[in-house]
A and B are shown apart, each in its own frame.
Chain A
Amino acid sequence: MKFRTILTIIGVVIGTSSIIVMVSIGNGAQKSITDELSGIGSVTTLQVYQDLSSMGMTSMGGGKTDDKAILNDDAIKDLKKIDGVVAVTPVVNLNGGEIEVDREQYGVSLMGVDYAVLEDMRYVTTSGKKPGANDENSVILGKDVLTSITYTGASTQLTESEVKPEDLIGQNITMTIKRTNANGEEEMKTQKLKVTGVLEATGGNEDYSIIADYNLVTELNEWQTGRKANVKKQGYTQALVTVEDSSVVNAVTTEVEAMQFTVFSMQQILDSMGSVFQMLQILLGGIGGVALLVACIGIVNTMTMSIYERTKEIGIMKVIGASISDIRNMFIAESTMIGLIGGLVGIVISLVLSVLINLVAGFFIGGEGGVTISFITPGLVIFALVFSALVGLLSGVRPAIKAANLSSLDAIRSE
């Protein structure tokens, strides 16, 4: 192989690897952020609310309550029927509870879910176990439930309790709630709760709550507010919908929205971030693309030089029976090979570079299990290979046509 050709291939190698490495860094950023997000908030859980805007509309529009979608038990049943939905539970919250652990007072809030479907929900306990369907007084503690937040002037401080939630597993704790009765007197009520497990961090409200049975929380709520909840008419404020896996999230979201409820899911955040990262990748890829553009000019140059050098050869081939397309294809094949070889070598080099970047970054940033700064997907590899071959092919077209159109007699006479 000619030295000139090798230099041209090196140009393509640099172009290809700069695109791959640039895009891989964009990929890496996306991967580490989405991994983190999907790690904390469960991507398979949708939060469903009564449509706030329609509530406003109906109250202003003179009570056309028929149109309003109410998140009541019927709605819960309908939600359960949607394809891909595994579990649906209403959520009721209770605030202002207090528990005493080790002579320390902790303010807590309870999050009541349907224990009958608790097993199907994606709550994972780090230690202990989930309460069964009939363990009405059993609860799971959120990971940070004993972490008290103290406000000292302008700054907020998180103080970790010396008692870990895990230490309470198997114990009974006493929770106290208060209410002010009609006479302005304060009344207290205590409730014994049995801790069966601690919930893995979800990144949501659960971390700071005690997960309890829906019926228990409703009961306590009724005592605290002094009136019965009319679920049938007013509905629940919130429901949690657990779906099979992340692939059906969007489909389920659309169906729930069609039922006129407001849906919030981690997937929506990931989707909107996806388009931001796509922009970032196009930008980074474009920067890498400049190097490939230069390489492309190099291929055109090499091929043109090669034609001048091989004019006589082309002439001979035409005289002994090569057609125009034979000559053209020969040169296009050659420049495509330059692109393809350059692309292949570029891919190998980028894979090595990617590993090195992550190693070096891991060395400086630290952390267990390595750091992902650069992440090369199989799709990126295939794209790079096809793209570099295409660049070679397109670069070869003009020189090849030029070669094919040489007059055979003039060509054979040239030295």
Chain B
Amino acid sequence: MHKDFKLGKEDINILKGINLDIEQGEMVALLGPSGSGKSTFLNVLGGLVPPTSGDIMIRDYRISEMTENELCLFRREHLGFIFQSYNLISTMTAMENVALALTFAGVKKEIRKERAIEALEVVGLVDRMGHKPSELSGGQQQRVSIARALVNHPEIILADEPTGNLDSKTSADIMEMIYRLNREENQTFVIVTHDPDTTKYCTKVIHMRDGLIESEVNQ
């Protein structure tokens, strides 16, 4: 898998020219102080914001030239997202939140439920599938959001500070789980974090500063 970035945002140049290759099955940590552009980089990577200039290639797909609808379809099949604030829909149960991603892919209702339960099994939350997000702890909510990211079996999962709102014990649990998924499913992870502990699970650690890559370490 190959990805190229050459980015620059006009007024405020958040990303000032980034060039990076990530291989399939890698687990990449993006570190850097706030304002260094690591979240923006992740969002551009996921097709949530278009780059001002430059290319993003995921396998043979040229993300930077896709229309919004093409991006939606692409995200549906190839990408999973995990957010710092979980971003679960508060009116839906854990199971419904996970199944929602499949709804848009046009999967039948029974199969949706089956696969949502499967994904919740992976994160160990089957017994809580009928609960709403407000009835779950932070760690549990994040596990639901991981299950949601997994349910489509995407090749790439983009995580924006997945442990940012969690205590260190729970953070470790979540990272263990991500590590396990990375090993077992050979899924590629790109994780934005400012927690150095997180980096020990990763195969590649990238430090960013002022919109540029400061260092790239394979470990």
Name A's interface SS: helix
A333–B152 Cα distance when bound, in Å, is 25
Q: Which residues of A contact B152 (CB under 8 A)?
A: 321
Taking a contact as CB atoms under 8 Å apart, the answer to whether B68 and A321 are in contact is no
A18–B61 Cα distance when bound, in Å, is 57
Q: Nearest residue in A to B77 (C-beta to C-beta)?
A: A321
Q: Does A319 make an interface contact (CB < 8 A)?
A: yes
Q: Does B72 make an interface contact (CB < 8 A)?
A: yes
Supposing A312-B87, A324-B72, A412-B87 touch, asked if A319 and B104 sit within 8 A by C-beta, the answer is no
Q: Does A317 make an interface contact (CB < 8 A)?
A: yes
Segment 109-127 of A: residues with Cβ below 8 Å from B:
none
Q: Which residues of B contact A320 (CB under 8 A)?
A: 75-76, 81, 100-101, 104, 148
Supposing A320-B75, A323-B72 touch, asked if A313 and B105 sit within 8 A by C-beta, the answer is no
Taking a contact as CB atoms under 8 Å apart, the answer to whether B104 and A321 are in contact is yes
Q: Does B89 make an interface contact (CB < 8 A)?
A: yes
> A324 is contacted by which of B69, B83, B89 (Cβ under 8 Å)?
B69
Mark interface residues in B57-93 (1 if CB within 8 Å of A CB, else 0): 0000000000011001101110001010001110000
A side interface size, CB within 8 A: 18
Mark interface residues in A379-415 (1 if CB within 8 Å of B CB, else 0): 0000000000000000000000000000111001000
Q: Which residues of B contact A245 (CB under 8 A)?
A: none
Q: Does A326 make an interface contact (CB < 8 A)?
A: yes
Taking a contact as CB atoms under 8 Å apart, the answer to whether A412 and B101 are in contact is no
Q: Which residues of A contact B48 (CB under 8 A)?
A: 319, 408-409
Segment 271-328 of A: residues with Cβ below 8 Å from B:
312-313, 315-326
Residue among B76, B104, B105, B152 with max Cβ neighbours from chain A (10 Å): B104
Q: Which residues of B contact A324 (CB under 8 A)?
A: 68-69, 72
Taking a contact as CB atoms under 8 Å apart, the answer to whether A321 and B43 are in contact is no
A316–B76 Cα distance when bound, in Å, is 12
Q: Which residues of B contact A313 (CB under 8 A)?
A: 89
A319–B43 Cα distance when bound, in Å, is 10
Q: Which residues does A use to contact B, with CB under 8 Å?
A: 312-313, 315-326, 407-409, 412
Q: Which residues does B use to contact A, with CB under 8 Å?
A: 43, 46, 48-49, 68-69, 72-73, 75-77, 81, 83, 87-89, 100-101, 104-105, 148, 152
Q: Which 6 A-B pairs have CB atoms at the shortest separation, nearest pair first?
A: A321-B76, A323-B72, A320-B101, A409-B48, A322-B104, A321-B104
